[in-house]
Structure 1
Amino acid sequence: MTLCLQELHFSLPSTFSLHNTNSLNIWESRLIDEPFYRARKSLNDLILENTAENKSSSTCNQPMLIEDIHLCLCAMQWKIWKHAQSNSNQETNNASECSKRQSLRKYLESVKSRLDEILAQKPHPSSPNFGHEKLLPYRYYYGIEDHTQAGWQEPVLDRLKDLLFDAQMLSLLLDLHLSLDIPSLVQVATDQNPSAIEEQSATFQRAREQRRLSIQYATSRCVPLLSSSGHIANSTMTIIRLAAN
């Protein structure tokens, strides 16, 4: 069963910190500190407000949790998949598909820009303002850590690092689906062993070169993200860079 965007009328969930406390008094203090807008905003509202066309200044100034970014990215998945399938089946004309791709990319870049801003925060654990960051207040990811103990901030930072990495990888996969022509990717594998007739064909040579450029472009889209993530081996990065050249 497929849900329509309009059916996501449920309010945004509470923060991680509210669901992970070990005493009633801490839960009460965190409840008071919950983002006030979340109880009044639906999942549908969040997605619509963060599209490139509808984004407002009030939305930009409002804290956005990593879970919200996940939601906005997941909302794009079906449209991007349909776009990729349409390209594979060559169902529509190139002008129409190009327009759809640009619209989807504009939306994706809008959501990714918010993610990049959060990644740029990098607060120091010993900072007196830790937990009160402007774009993504880290206090919303507090757990049962004992704040009287040294180093209590480390589990919070590790938690955020994992969530942000997941969001980065999801945005990368969506970007690749937009950038990569899947049929060309399949064809590139067969291009490695052309027949004698194909080797002599100027048409085949031009098509092969075009496919190669398409693959290079798509591969190059993932290099900066994978390079900065620190979750990939140097040998793998070397292979990716060679493919992009």
Structure 2
Amino acid sequence: MTTLSGKTLLITGASRGIGRAIALRAARDGANVAIAAKSGVPNPKLPGTIHSVAEEVRAAGGQALPVRCDIREEDEVRAAVAATVDAFGGLDILVNNASAIWLRGALDTPMKRFDLMHQVNARGTFLVTQACLPHLLEAPDPHVLTLAPPPSLDPKWWGPHTGYTLAKMGMSHVTLGLAAEFRDRGIAIDALWPKTIIATDAINMIPGVDPAMCRRPEIVADAAHAILTRPAREGTGRFLIDEDVLRAAGVTDFSPYAVDPSKPLLPDLFL
């Protein structure tokens, strides 16, 4: 299958950035997209809301359901999943994209920030996946795709920002564990991570990053599309890199994904 036509996706953190790009790529196939995020009303500091992305999804050819959902709140998550299934008759794909970032050392990490990252990243990924699993188990070709890096114990990723690395690697370990648990149940549970830094609002949290040295979110969206259109029983528990996925799919020219093709690219964290 090379299209997501008629498939139903629930995407967390889909009001901007990579989540929005994945939603729009699915919409071009005619998919049903539940846009789950906290951004229900415009924020002067951050572009995009669940409603603005829903309009873009419909304009691109998909069906859209904007769902305001804080993935730290179990009741909101279960209500969002129920609303998605009610609206579209089922659920085929979950994309765990929502994430919180704070790249500081231990002495500069308030516990409020530490708790937020763990509630959103590791716990949120587990909670949303848990809520979706009963519906995914009924789908003919179900996928869970989490935006998380390959697991690593390399101290160079832990020393500078233990709190963030622990929370982000938590998403990776949730992927590892659930893929093993459901290996024989037909759900592909994989992770995807960019080879380079992606130009999203999150780069404002990374000191000294020039957006011109980044790639656009569309590269991650195209890689996600390539993964999600493969048969679920083809593999699970994989930690995939966007550029590698697209090379395997026959892409050779990556310059269109660059914000400024004349600039060198910055490698992403954890690679």
How high is the TM-score relative to the length of structure 2?
A: 0.32
* Structure with higher helix content: 1
Name which one, 1 or 2, has greater alpha-carbon Rg: 1
How high is the TM-score relative to the length of structure 1?
A: 0.35
* Structure with higher strand content: 2
